[in-house]
DNA sequence: ACCTGAACACCGTTCAAGT
DNA sequence: ACCTGAACACCGTTCAAGT
């Protein structure tokens, strides 16, 4: 009866991520993961409901590697920037995962709108980076917009606020920052 | 020898889009599209190099339906907003296509950074909309950021500029506008 | 030039059986 | 409880043949 599981979920995650890093998302299948673990395909159904569960496994593995900032900036915008940078760096380390993230991952978790916005940017930037280098000097003179979102995040989105215990990031990628600014300018459509 | 093609590309596009609208992207396969057209799978290879070509077909079909704005606003930000609205409305009409758009479509075309940014937002908003209604009152007091991107678009990105012959949009979706503003606030991280 | 069916090497998942 | 192989209904694509 009560048998101990042959594999831990972490083992599956590690093997799946390895597979995706090596062969792309298309290289991850029930059968390929199973044989990478030296077992049969059906064994995986003890850890995962279906094929899509494999994607979520990979996404979780990547998110688990994110070094979320842990200390607070005075300016909340610095905090959000640090979060975005951290998320982007984690995704960047596993380019093939992008596809899974974009197609279903984060939205399936019913994540917060604000976090979704940030991650949407992260995706967009990473995709742009694959196609060609960004015009890094675009946003140098960007100015402020009103930041009412700060309250909004604190009141309605505790999870985002919790994530926003921001670290004093030393080694941020300058190109990413410049790209972020360029995107913000491009998106800044507010009326006056 | 010289035989006339049995199907026009437009016929394929229409049938493929219909399939995706009805059964989701997963419902589109070489075989399913072929049998929807009453032919064999291999016939499709005369119009399309491989399976991914089917996705591009669908994406093109959606983009073809976009009623791009045709007249100019004085404020370039109004123009870009009109573009974003038009793109979003087209995508909205075919929710299942989102997956294809997000995973490869637009980035594969090496599109402009700015347009990618806008479409990334469109994706993010559409995904957020599927998960739940947006906090529409979030961005009411948004203010300006510097808009150097205007020049940038004119000098370096003629295709975007060409698309930015903006129409005087009458029926824009208010929720979308509000969501756009909320996202902009959330993303507005510029330093001061 | 364009179409086509058979065949190949895959795929996810159901099922029934094993410990 | 957890594992497993066989079987089923798919899939994209190569190939060789048809008009």
Interface test with A, best of B59, B76, B137, B186 (most A CBs within 10 A): B186
Angle CA B68–A183–A109, to nearest 5:
90
Structure confidence at residue A62 (pLDDT): 73
- Model confidence at B26, pLDDT cuts 50, 70, 90, reads confident
Confidence check: pLDDT of A77 > 60: no
**A157 and A118 in contact (C-beta within 8 Å)?**
no
> Model confidence over B112-140: pLDDT tens digits?
333 444 444 444 444 443 333 322 222 22
B4: pLDDT confidence band, cut at 50, 70 and 90? Answer: confident
Mean pLDDT across chain B? 55
Q: Is B174 an interface residue toward A (CB < 8 Å)?
A: no
In the structure, what pLDDT confidence band is assigned to residue A163 with cuts at 50, 70 and 90?
A: very low
Nearest residue in B to A181, CA atom: B190
pLDDT over threshold 50, residue A71: yes
**Which of A107, A174, A188, A192 is the best mutation test for B, with the most CBs of B within 10 A?**
A188
Mean pLDDT over all residues of chain A?
55
For residue A146, what is the DSSP state? -
Q: How many angstroms separate the CA atoms of B108 and B117, rounded?
A: 14
Residue B108 has pLDDT above 80, yes or no: no
| Percent of chain B predicted with pLDDT > 70 | 31
Q: Which residue has the higher pLDDT, A174 or A189?
A: A174
More confident of the two residues B95 and B169: B95
Residue A28 has pLDDT above 90, yes or no: yes
**pLDDT tens column, A129-149:** 333 332 222 222 222 222 222
- Collapsing DSSP to helix, strand or coil, B138 comes out as coil
* Triad A170, A173, A179: Cα angle to 5°: 135
Q: What is the DSSP string of B149-178?
A: HHHHHHHH-HHHHHHT-----SS--HHHHH
Residues of A in contact with B186 (CB under 8 A): 80, 113-114, 117-118, 149
Residue A72's pLDDT band, with cuts at 50, 70 and 90, is low
pTM for the whole thing?
Answer: 0.57
A72-82: buried (b, 16+ CB within 10 Å) or exposed (e) per residue? ebeebbbbbbb
Answer whether A123's CB lies under 8 Å from A183's CB: no
Assess contact for A77 and A52: CB atoms under 8 A. no
Burial class (CB in 10 A: 0-12, 13-18, 19+), A118: buried
DSSP labels for B48-93? -SSHHHHHHHHHHHHHHH-----S--SSHHHHHHHHHHHHHHHHHT
**Chain B contact for A180, CB < 8 A?**
yes
Q: What is the mean pLDDT of residues B103-118?
A: 34
Look at residue B67 and tell me whether its pLDDT is greater than 90: no
Please count the CA atoms within 13 angstroms of the CA of B28 that sit on its side-chain side: 28
Instruction: Quote the pLDDT of residue A1.
Output: 58
Question: Which is higher by pLDDT, A103 or B95?
Answer: B95
């Amino acid at each position: 009866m009560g048998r101990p599981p042959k594999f831990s979920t972490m083992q599956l995650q590690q093997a799946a991520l390895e597979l995706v890093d090596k062969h792309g998302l298309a290289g991850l299948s029930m059968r390929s993961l199973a044989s990478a673990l030296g077992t049969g395909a059906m064994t995986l159904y003890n850890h995962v409901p279906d094929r899509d569960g494999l994607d979520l496994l990979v996404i979780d593995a990547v998110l688990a590697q994110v070094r979320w900032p842990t200390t607070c900036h005075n300016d909340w915008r610095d905090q959000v920037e640090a979060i975005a940078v951290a998320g982007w760096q984690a995704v960047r380390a596993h380019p093939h995962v992008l596809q899974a993230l974009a197609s279903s991952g984060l939205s399936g978790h019913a994540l917060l709108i604000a976090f979704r916005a940030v991650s949407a940017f992260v995706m967009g930037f990473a995709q742009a980076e694959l196609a060609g280098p960004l015009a890094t000097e675009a946003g140098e003179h960007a100015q402020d917009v009103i930041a009412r979102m700060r309250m909004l995040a604190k009141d309605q989105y505790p999870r985002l606020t919790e994530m926003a215990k921001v670290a004093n990031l030393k080694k941020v990628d300058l190109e990413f920052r410049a790209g972020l600014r360029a995107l913000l300018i491009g998106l800044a459509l507010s009326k006056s």
